[in-house]
Amino acid sequence: MNSLLLADGRRLAYRDAGEGLVLVLLHGWAMSSVVFGELSAELSRDFRVLSPDLRGHGGSDPGPGYGCSGFAADLSEWFSVLDLQDAVLLGWSLGGEVALTLAADAQIRSRLRALVLVATTPRFTAGADWAAGLPATQLRALARDLRRSYLKTMGDFFALQFVGETLPKGRHQEILRFAVRAGRLPEPEIALAGLETLGGEDLRGLLPQLQLPTLVVHGELDRIVPPEAGRFLAATLPNARLELWPNTGHAPFLSDPLRFCSLLRNFLS
């Protein structure tokens, strides 16, 4: 595990494997870079794979706020110090929202070759002009459950990512071992602050300016980010294509990692 001391004295932890074209992987809500352990091992055969822990997650120190702009500010400094150029930025779920926020910064955008958005939405909660989200009442219920029984609620949320899928025998336990138990959960207050971010961000206004080649990957069975959100991203981003996977939930790269790696290699070739 590597770490960078940010200008304000906080530590940003990140994993670095392989050589070649830079591929940056941003994890989702209440997770850490360990979720990409399997993906990184495969992709680092062809790419330099960098997977940072967002502030307050994994090995990274807590920060003064947990909105997308705060996460992006840390990563912008990290990009600059490591002098990352011609990079591919991949974000999963909340990490996809952070990726969109980063790419909207012209200085960071000049360092990017492409975007990959996995199970990503520009707006997590439904509203009068946005049906492709979850009801705000569902997020409030999740926050209530987190306060009452943190570990159980986190376990239930992780299981929700695979509802309806037919995984090979033992695969769910295997994923739990390397993607969850190999790391550590954020403190409850940080998870709740991140959930508040999911409930409040609306990034739709950023999309028209993002001209980067973009691959949008979404599962048709996703119970956390409705597939309609992926369709909206692909239709609104100027240079995007959609890969909608049947029989797949919220984490396509965990459900079928070899297919995901093949798709990514083809997109970047």
Catalytic residues: 93, 222, 250
Tokens of 31: 């997770």
Written as one string, the DSSP assignment of 112-170 is: EEEEEEES--S-SB-BTTB-SSB-HHHHHHHHHHHHH-HHHHHHHHHHHTTTT--PPTT
Tokens of 15: 């994993």
Count of CB atoms situated within 10 Å of the CB of 268: 17
Strand residues in the chain grouped as ranges (E): 2-5, 11-17, 22-26, 48-52, 87-92, 112-118, 214-219, 240-245
| 25 to 10, 53, 140: CA distances (angstroms) | 21, 10, 28
Overall residue count recorded for the chain in this entry: 269
Q: Which residues contact 85 (CB under 8 A, 6 or more apart)?
A: 22, 111
Tokens of 135: 């009801």
